[in-house]
Structure 1
Amino acid sequence: MSSPAHTTRTGPGADPADWESTGVRLDLSEDGATATVTLCRPERRNAQSPALWRALAAIGRALPGTVRVVLLRAEGVSFSAGLDRAAFTPAGIPGELPLLELAASDQGDQVISGYQEAFTWWRRPDLVSIAAVQGHAVGAGFQLALACDLRVCAEDVQFAMRETALGLVPDLAGTKPLVELVGPARALEICGTGRWVGAEESVRIGLANLAVPAADLDAAAADLGAALLAAPRDALVETKALLQGAGARSYEEQRAAERAAQLRRLRDLAGLGE
């Protein structure tokens, strides 16, 4: 895939060289109302680490309010092969708490919560996030794709949730969006078996919005982002909030939420403010 045009290359709150000293290679570019986050470790199939998660969380905290659409992409043949395999060794990833030591740590919940921050900000109400996914998206890679609002996939995509097979559970905020997209029974089958989910099935079951040839992936994601930017920002923010909250509301509660949102929009359009 070709790289998007870059207007900036920066690490929010840190120099990219600092990221690279921990094995993290990320690229952040901003072009008007669109920001693009690129995983840049293709020789390791964009394997993930806690240092990467801290960098992704920092990006989310530092994005300017002018950004309305965030594109998430990855260099190379795979979106992300998941957590760096070194994490599963007794020594773990250098500089990080080994996974098995979390069980004996009184800060285990806090540590995992910190990891999850990298996967939560993509769904915040003031922006829409789109993952452009090619090749393998396994475990943490699958959950990073699920962190986004929308997914555009290459025809060679292969999703898999392998945590259960390792005696673990998916814990990077991916279970709720997976259930919301495909339902609890299908989600259990995907997680419990760890099987591959390809492009055609991903679109059919609602996991992906569309699948395109790999050569067209970046363009398709960019086109979807441009279409979203065509809508007035406040209307899109209100609509996203309505849809995100619909599952937790009754039918009557959702009707009331629609009325309240519409009246806010009408007051705004009429120049009446709040």
Structure 2
Amino acid sequence: MSEQRVTIAITDGVADVRLARPEKRNALDPAMFEGLVLAGERLRDEPGVRAVVLSGEGPDFCAGLDFGSFQAMRDGQRLSATAELPPTDGPAKATGQRAAHVWTTLPMPVIAAVTGNALGGGLQIALGADIRIVAPDAVLSVLEIRWGLIPDMTGTQVLPELVGRDRAKELTFTGRRVSGTEAVRIGLATRVADAPREAALELAREIAAVSPHAVSAAKRLLESSGRVDVSTQLAAEQTEIGALIGSPNQKEAVAAGFEKRAPDFRD
């Protein structure tokens, strides 16, 4: 997996995915971009995975682009473009966009566990997750403006949806750093925890215990909410509920509930 920049361990339906370049604060280089995309694409089709936890080895989640990338930009080069990836039919075409967007395409929920720094591209990777659990003293920033850049890894799409258009502009125009506590207050993160990875894994195990088909349907609907017209969204609700009612896992959920036992769901 791309010089082991990204590792995956799967236990009881939970995929523990880690950015594994702690000596460089998990900074993004071509190999890290490649590793993130390939990890996401692998898990998209991995049988038995019902939830994903995305975190960084060491004290930081991801400090953004590494210095080599900034140095190359002075000569007009984009090192991320050198990542070796198969072509994609998805809306995210650029390498950096794919590294963040791929997590939204997984059928199962993705939970980012953020400690230390989540800066620039690192923050945008976290924004690709469905849920963000952050340490109170984590540092998050739309840092690109400090390097004369803009967020170009789907951040301009996702950020206004989370924090509102005006606050997204303020964060983007200034590059100011916010703590994990403030990130939760403004909607940039979901909740704080003193041990984000452990909290994320606990939540992932909870999600893995319910019907995977219902969770996937819910994720599809919540991803499209606000991005399609109301008629299309409401029609999609009925399509999804129609497919769930009477399905094997829905029958098992009802039976387990009445029989007061743990359900045995099938993928």
* TM superposition score normalised by structure 2: 0.81
- SS of the aligned residue for 1:101 comes to coil
1:235 is displaced (CA, Å) by: 0.7
Give the alignment partner of residue 172 of structure 1, picking from 134, 146, 153. 153
Instruction: Report the counterpart of residue 100 of structure 1 in structure 2.
Output: 76
Relative distance call for 1:124 and 1:112 in structure 2 (3 A) is: closer
Q: Which amino acid aligns with 1:100?
A: G
| Conservation of the 8 A alpha-carbon contact between 1:125 and 1:241 | no
Instruction: Report the counterpart of residue 196 of structure 1 in structure 2.
Output: 177
The alignment's C-alpha RMSD in Å is 2.4
Instruction: Report the counterpart of residue 140 of structure 1 in structure 2.
Output: 121
Instruction: Report the counterpart of residue 228 of structure 2 in structure 1.
Output: 249
Distance of 2:168 and 2:177 partners within structure 1:
13
2:53 counterpart of 1:71: yes
How do 1:95-244 residues align onto structure 2 when only pairs under 5 Å count? 100-101=76-77, 113-213=94-194, 216-244=195-223
- SS of the aligned residue for 2:172 comes to helix
Instruction: Report the counterpart of residue 36 of structure 2 in structure 1.
Output: 56
1:115 is displaced (CA, Å) by: 3.2
Moved more, 128-137 or 176-185: 176-185
1:56 is displaced (CA, Å) by: 1.4
Number of matched residues?
237
Relative distance call for 1:25 and 1:255 in structure 2 (3 A) is: closer
| Conservation of the 8 A alpha-carbon contact between 1:87 and 1:99 | no
Distance of 2:228 and 2:21 partners within structure 1:
41
- Identity score, percent: 36
1:47 is displaced (CA, Å) by: 1.1
Distance of 2:251 and 2:193 partners within structure 1:
42
**Structure 1 unmatched ranges of 5 or more:** 1-10, 12-18, 93-97
Distance of 2:225 and 2:165 partners within structure 1:
17
Give the alignment partner of residue 67 of structure 2, picking from 85, 88, 100. 85
Provide Cα deviations, 1:24-64, integer angstroms capped at 9, x if missing partner.
Answer: 53321111311111122222211111111111111122221
1:189 is displaced (CA, Å) by: 0.7
Give the alignment partner of residue 260 of structure 1, picking from 239, 260, 266. 239
1:203 is displaced (CA, Å) by: 1.1
Distance of 1:199 and 1:52 partners within structure 2:
24
| Conservation of the 8 A alpha-carbon contact between 2:5 and 2:31 | no
1:232 is displaced (CA, Å) by: 0.4
Distance of 1:99 and 1:189 partners within structure 2:
29
- SS of the aligned residue for 1:53 comes to helix
**Structure 2 unmatched ranges of 5 or more:** 82-86, 253-267
1:99 is displaced (CA, Å) by: 6.6
